[in-house]
Chain A
C-alpha cells in the first residue's frame, strides 16, 4: 500500500547526530520520503534536540506528547523539527518516558522554543519536565482540578466536566523588569479578536518594560474528541474549526497527516483544488489584516475600504465551496467539490478585480501621511530572538528569515506552481505588513497558475485501507504561518492521537520581546501585527504599583489612544 520510494531525506542529519552524540540514537524510521523519526535515550533528549536545532538548522515545529502505555508501556515525546538547511525535511526526535517514572529532562533551557510545548505536555499528560523554569499551567483553565490530565487514556471520559474548583482566576503573571513598574492588564474579553487572551503590560510611564499573557481561554478539548467521539474521517470537519479564519489550512494539514501515515496518493486535481482554496483563504485573511492595520493607525476609512473589497474574496470562497468560512471541503483522499467551467471563469474574473482594486487600496494606504510614521521601527522582532523561538509566517519573514512551508516543504499542489519567498529586513510592523501585501498578490498569481494547469481526472480516491498505529506529520502554510499536525491512527477507525499546532501558537512566545521598549499606545498595533486576527485588548485595568491604586480604562479609550496618541488615559 505504502508507495514510498527509496528516497531517504534526513539521512545526513541522522549521520551527523550519531557522530556528535555517539550513544544517543536507539532507533530510526522514515514515515515518508521526507519525514524521519529518530528515537533517542531520554537522558540525552535535550542534547539531541539542541544539536539538530542549532547545528543543523532545525526549527521547532511542535512538541507532541502521546500516551502509548497500552502499546509499549511508556509515554512518547516527539520534538518535531523542520530542517531548513541544505537537506530540507522533517526530523522528529522521539524519546520514551516509562510508566511509573513520569518525568523527563526539559529541553527548554537549551532550546527556548520548547517552552509552550513542554508546559502543555505537563498539563495534558502529567509528565514533569525537570529543569523547566516556568511552572504555571498553559492550557488548562484555573478552575480545572489538579492531577487530572485529560489526554491520558485512562484519566477520564471525554465528556467529563468536573465541577469548577473555584470561581476565581488564579494565574500569576511574570514580570522580569528590575525596576518598579505599573501593571496594565488587557482582556480577556475584547471588542473583537481571534481568541480571548489576557495581557499584562508592565510599564514605566508610557514605556513597556515587560509583558506577559495568558492564552487558551478557548481550550475546548478538541484533541480529546478526535480520539474518542469522532471517526478519523470526521476529524477533517473538526480541524476546519480549529480557527475560523485559517480553518481550511488546518483541515488540509490534518488530511495530509493521515494521508502521509497511510501512504494514500491524493489525485493531482484534488491537490490543485486544495492549493486554490488555501490561497483563497490567504486572500481574505491578509485583507483582514491589512484592514486592521489601517484601523490601528487611526485610518478607519481605509479599514472600511479593505473590508469592502474583502467581500470579493468571500464571494469567491462561497462560490467554490458553498460556504464563506469553514469550507468542509476535504475528505481523506481528496476533496468534495470540483471547479467546473462556470466557476473557473468567475474565479478568474474575481481574481482580476481583486488585483486592480487591492492594488489601488495599497497605493492609497502607503501614500497616506503618518501611516509610515506609526508602523516604521515599531514592534521590532530581533532576528536572533526569532531564531531561538521558531515563530512562523509573515512575522518571521518580516525579520529576514526565509521560512515558508510552501517552498521549503512543498505540499498539496505547490510543487506545480512557481513561487518564491517574500522576506522583509525591517523586522518591524511595516516590514510584516509589506510581506503580507506581496503575498496577497502572489496568492492571486498562484490561483491563476493552478487554474491554468488544473490536471484532469478524479478529485477523490477511496482506494486505501485504514491501518492502525501509523503516524506521520501533515503541514500547511496558513496565512499566519506553518500549521503542523501529527496524527497517529488507532483501532476501530479512530485516531489514537491527534496533535494540532496552529501558527499563532508558535508566534505568541516572541510577542513579549516585541512589546518591550515600545510605548503603551503601540501595543494594540504590535499585537495586531502578528495577526492573531485582531489585537487582544479590550478592557484595560491600570495598576500603579507605586501608588497602589487601580483604575479601569475601557478598551475604546485604549484604542483611541493608540490612534490619536493624545490625552493619555494613564495620567
Chain B
C-alpha cells in the first residue's frame, strides 16, 4: 500500500496531454490584438480557485471599476471569447473541462493566468490534487499576480494583455557589493531594550502598526530633544485624537521604566 514516490512522480506535467499551437501563433495574436483593441471578450475558466479571484473579477466589471469602459466584456461561452482568463491552481478534476474550454475558443486567443494560483499554483503549488498553475496545461500570454489581484490590478493586467500599457516589473538580480554592511538600527538605544520595546509594540498593535509606533518611539527615545519623553510624545502631531496609539506609547514607556528599574536594582 505504501508508496514512496520518486521525484519524477512529483513532476506536475507527467502524463498530461499536451496542447499543440499553430506555428504562426505569434503573428496571429498580433493581428488579433490590433483588431480587438476596444472590444475584448473575456471568458473565465475557474480551474479550482478559492473564488476570491472570481469575486474580484466581478468587482472589476461593476460600476466602481467598470472594465467595460475599455470594451472588456465577460462572455458566457468560450466560443465568443478573444481572451481566456484562467484562475485557480488547476485541480485534477478541472483539467479536462479547462482544456475543453481552451479548445472551444477560436484561434488565435490570448490566455491570461490570473492570481497567485493561476500564475504558479500559489499556496497550493505542490499539492497532490493540483497540477500547479495555468501554464502546466495551456500556453499563457499574460500573468496577473495577486491573492487575489485587486480590481485595479485586474484592469492593469488587461491593459498589459491588450498592449495598452507596458509592464513595470522586470527580472532583477542584485549582487552583493564589496562594502555592503547592515548597520544596527537605533544605535543610541541599548539593543536588549530595543528588542523589548519592539516585542511589546508587536504584541500591542501587530507587526505593521506596532512596528511603525515602535519606530516613532525609538526615534523619540534615541534623539535628544527638549522636554521629557512624555512631553515629546504628546507634541507628536495627531496623537491627541488617537487614544489607542497613546495607550501603546505609554505601554512602551512602561517597558523602558521597568528596564531601568531592573538595571538599577
Contact = CB atoms under 8 A, between A and B. Distances in A.
Direct touch of chains A and B (CB < 8 A): yes
B207 interface: yes
Contact-size category for A: 35 or more
A459 B204 CA distance: 5
Contacts of B244: 338-341, 344
B9 A162 contact: yes
B204 A196 contact: no
A144 B92 contact: yes
A237 interface: yes
A192 B244 CA distance: 42
Contacts of B148: 244, 324-326
Given A144-B92, A324-B150, A337-B208, A220 B3 contact: no
B56 A158 contact: no
A245 B52 CA distance: 6
A308 interface: yes
Interface string A441-476: 000000000000000111111100000000000000
Main secondary structure of the interface of A (DSSP, over half): loop
B5 interface: yes
A538 B76 contact: yes
Interface string A276-314: 000000000000100000000000000011011011001
Contacts of A196: 46, 48, 93-94, 97
A523 B29 CA distance: 39
A141 B92 contact: yes
B98 to A, nearest CB: 8
A301 to B, nearest CB: 11
A538 to B, nearest CB: 7
Contacts of B241: 341
A30 to B, nearest CB: 30
Interface stretch (B18-26, B121-129, B184-192, B224-232): B121-129
A217 interface: yes
A238 B93 CA distance: 21
B206 A460 contact: yes
Which of A148, A159, A190, A555 has the most chain B CB within a 10 Å cutoff?
A159
A162 B3 CA distance: 11
Which of B2, B95, B123 has the most chain A CB within a 10 Å cutoff?
B123
A567 interface: no
A220 B206 contact: no
Interface stretch (B33-41, B58-66, B161-169, B255-263): B58-66
Contacts of B147: 241, 326
Given A159-B126, A160-B9, A167-B96, A459 B150 contact: no
B79 to A, nearest CB: 8
Interface stretch (A86-94, A221-229, A389-397): A221-229
A164 B92 contact: yes
A244 B1 contact: no
B205 interface: yes
A220 B14 contact: no
Contact of A308 (B44, B53, B62, B243): B62
Interface of B: 1-5, 9-12, 14-17, 44-46, 48-59, 62-64, 74-77, 88-89, 91-98, 101, 122-124, 126-131, 147-148, 150, 202-210, 238, 241-245, 247-248
Interface of A: 140-144, 147-148, 150, 152, 154-164, 167-169, 188-196, 216-222, 224-225, 229, 237-238, 241-245, 247, 288, 304-305, 307-308, 310-311, 314, 322, 324-326, 335-342, 344, 456-462, 533-534, 538-539, 554-556, 559
10 contacts: A141-B129, A155-B1, A158-B126, A164-B16, A219-B129, A238-B123, A310-B62, A311-B64, A337-B209, A338-B206
Given A191-B44, A220-B91, A325-B56, 8 more contacts: A161-B12, A164-B92, A169-B96, A195-B51, A217-B91, A338-B210, A459-B206, A555-B77
